[in-house]
Chains A and B, each alone.
Chain A
Amino acid sequence: MELNRDITSTMYLRMQRIRAFENTAMTLFADGKIPGALHLYTGEEAVAAGVCANLREDDYIVSTHRGHGHIVAKGGELKYMMAELLGKETGYCNGKGGSMHIADVSKGILGANGIVGAGLSISVGAGLSISYRGTDQVCVCFFGDGSSNQGTFHEALNMAGIWKLPIVFVCENNGYGASMSQAKHMLVRDIADRGAAYGIPGVVVDGNDAIAVYNTTAEAVTRARRGDGPTLIECKTYRHRGQFEGDPGIYRPAAEVEAWLAKDPIPRFAGFLQEFGLLSAQEIEAIDQQVADEIREAIVFAEQSPYPAVEKIVEDIYSDIIEEVRVR
């Protein structure tokens, strides 16, 4: 798809939605309203928005533990996401999954995942299904730099390669796998180089440049839809927050964090849009206002929603069996 005003304004809207959602989740977590663990996507918005702007509703994405951004960018609705984070009945997973397991299959979102590297294998299956059914859908598989050290990464790329599956592997290289810097957890500098080991094109892109991410993905998606097989795209980016909320982040030098904060993808994209006349200052303001309204509604919706009835715990384990709650 050729970049146009519609696409860029949707990208900007989604980036701001992600940012606002994550900032809100951060506050709610600090206030004790979100149980469990929270991995925020703040700072990596250009990747999800740039990639997903190339996708149709019937295309698939496979997400990670840091998945909120992917889900918003693929069209996930803030209020159902927020309700899920709070463990409410109205959430995407009826409160059963939480932050690490949000899915919306109707929009092709095959789920966030709590197991690092697991999504890579699942994307092979989604790609197989597309190619078997003979449609022109694609599957985008998001994963981190750290995940690319799991066996599943290597197995998945190889299998997707030999079967020429319509998959775009998007590595979000934020420089760290938990506390371990890329320089310590692998010897290669560009994860894109690993594509060569499986005969797959590997491309490096500035992950904080939404336009560059968009254009690179466009080529990979076209290739996949054409039946020419998978591509590995490495987006160099940075997470603004810790590995999880509560992570003191002692392993990242302050100067490095500062430098990356200055490369924030959102003001950069906003500046680009204005400079090239793709969005006016007023239009940007209107989008920002829209997002603020959506977030307010999402919070109210989530907070006012009830928790699921505990009896529903036994539903949805199987298609046909409802486990009986006997005396424990």
Chain B
Amino acid sequence: MKTMNYRDAIREAMCIRMREDDSVLLMGEDVGFFGGSSGITAGMFEEFGEKRVRDTPISESAIIGAAVGSAATGLRPIIDLLFVDFMLVGIDQIVNQAAKMRYMFGGKISMPMVARLPCGGGAGLAAQHSQSLEAWLTHIPGLKTVYPSTPQDALGLMLSAIDDDNPVMFLEHRLLYDMVGEIVDMNPIPLGVGDIKRAGSDVTVVATGKMVHEALRAADILANDGIALEVIDPRSLYPFDMDMIAKSLEKTRRAVIITEENKRVAFSAEISATIAEEYFDLLDAPVVRIGALNTPAPFSPPMETYYLPCAEDIVAAVRKF
């Protein structure tokens, strides 16, 4: 059985496509000789050289713009923004440019770029280095957004992201980099197809990113009480696999949605609203949403732990059904 960690899986997918296709290149701060923050691009500079693995100055607006302009003219750039928080420095290039060019130009342009956006809290990095901004990205027509929770999904989704002719926002949780998992399939995972991480018949838990693992932990805890959670990881936030959730609800009739974002106006609210609008009849109880507290990420370790959502929150919510 082949195993890989999340970090290596992301790198492997980038390398596979770079070996096959000269038009794929990687840009970002420290991605070259240094091997990327958290070692994520280690060895790529040596294999592909400085023309294709390009260190950039600290200039997020120009980095994202370089992806937009090169994608518009025949390349397939991947950019590493180090932290999703730093994307905000160049957000115009994502929201006003990358997302809208195809449309504004009447479909005359293609935008095959991938923005790698390490994200999430739990590392003591405080308010400007811990955010989860799924709702920001999924709100914008023209962007696709994916968020793998396992090495297998990271590999398959990265292959698809690179193959895609649209701007794909690739969220990667920093605390998952060392997570090891089985790799059984080297094929792309189509965007918009969710995955049932654990089958169950009592409650549907929709979880993204690191929260998938919290949901699995909750499922273990509740299994002792004879409650079977079905854990669904949508993997891709847009396009989104609503059918998988609806099918699960037909069985369970109860839903808990957990994301790491501040709960207010989180992506979980969109899922919850869609369930209410389209699948109200499937529900026996109101949908429960779980997220981080509506505060900036605090630095102090006990506070940060208190701030982040976790398995125990799911367990408490399920016990109230």
Closest A residue to B309 by CB, please name it: A328
- Please, how many angstroms separate the alpha-carbon atoms of A308 and B299 in the complex? 11
CB < 8 Å: which of A89, A184, A317 contacts B296?
A317
Number of A-B contacts (CB under 8 A): 138
Contact pattern, B 279-321, Cβ under 8 Å of A = 1, otherwise 0: 0000000000011111110111111011101000100110000
Contact of A35 among B34, B57, B124, B291 (CB under 8 A): B124
Interface residues of A, count at CB 8 A: 44
A267, CB-defined interface residue at 8 Å: no
A36 to B305 alpha-carbon distance, docked (Å): 13
Contact A185 B57 (CB under 8 A): yes
Q: A100-B128, A179-B34, A325-B293 are in contact. Are A117 and B299 (CB under 8 A)?
A: no
- Tell yes or no: A150 within 8 A of B by CB: yes
A304-328 CB mask vs B (1 if < 8 Å, else 0) is: 0001101011100100000101011
- A173 part of interface (Cβ distance < 8 Å): no
CB of A196 closer than 8 Å to a CB of B? no
Q: How far is the CB of B124 from chain A (nearest CB, A)?
A: 3
Known contacts A115-B86, A179-B34, A180-B57, A96 near B123 by CB under 8 Å: no
Taken residue by residue from 184 to 210, chain A's Cβ proximity to chain B (1 for < 8 Å, 0 otherwise) reads as 111000000000000000000000000
A313 B293 Cβ-Cβ under 8 A: yes
Does A161 lie at the interface of the complex (its beta carbon under 8 Å from any beta carbon of B)?
no
Give chain B residues whose Cβ lies under 8 Å from the Cβ of A146. 57-58
Q: Does A95 contact B (CB under 8 A)?
A: yes
A313 to B57, CA, bound (A): 36
Give bound CA distance, A97 to B295, whole Å: 13
Contact between B58 and A116 (Cβ–Cβ < 8 Å)? yes
Residues of the B chain whose Cβ atoms lie less than 8 Å from the Cβ of A114: 85, 125-129
Residue of A nearest to B123 (CB): A36
Is the C-beta of B30 less than 8 angstroms from some C-beta in chain A?
Answer: yes
Is A98 in contact with chain B by the CB < 8 A criterion?
Answer: yes
- Name the prevailing secondary structure of the A interface residues: loop
Q: Which chain A positions have C-beta within 8 A of B127?
A: 96-97, 101, 114
Are A98 and B124 in touch, CB under 8 angstroms?
A: yes
In contact, A250 and B295 (Cβ under 8 angstroms)? no
C-alpha gap A110/B207 in the complex (Å): 39
- A37 touches B (CB below 8 Å): yes
Select from chain A the residue with minimum beta-carbon distance to B312. A328
B33 at interface (Cβ–Cβ under 8 A)?
A: yes
User: In whole angstroms, what is the CA distance A70 to B236 when docked?
Assistant: 44
Answer yes or no: A88 CB below 8 A from chain B CBs: yes
Contacts of A125 in B (CB 8 A): none
Residue pair A323, B295 in contact (C-beta under 8 Å): yes
State in angstroms the CA–CA spacing of A88 and B302 once bound together. Answer: 10
Which 5 interchain pairs have the tightest Cβ spacing?
Answer: A35-B124, A98-B299, A36-B124, A95-B300, A87-B300
- Can you add 19 more A-B contacts, CB < 8 Å, to A97-B126, A98-B299, A179-B55? A35-B301, A37-B129, A89-B300, A98-B126, A98-B300, A115-B128, A117-B89, A146-B58, A149-B59, A150-B59, A151-B61, A177-B29, A177-B57, A185-B55, A307-B301, A307-B303, A308-B300, A328-B263, A328-B309
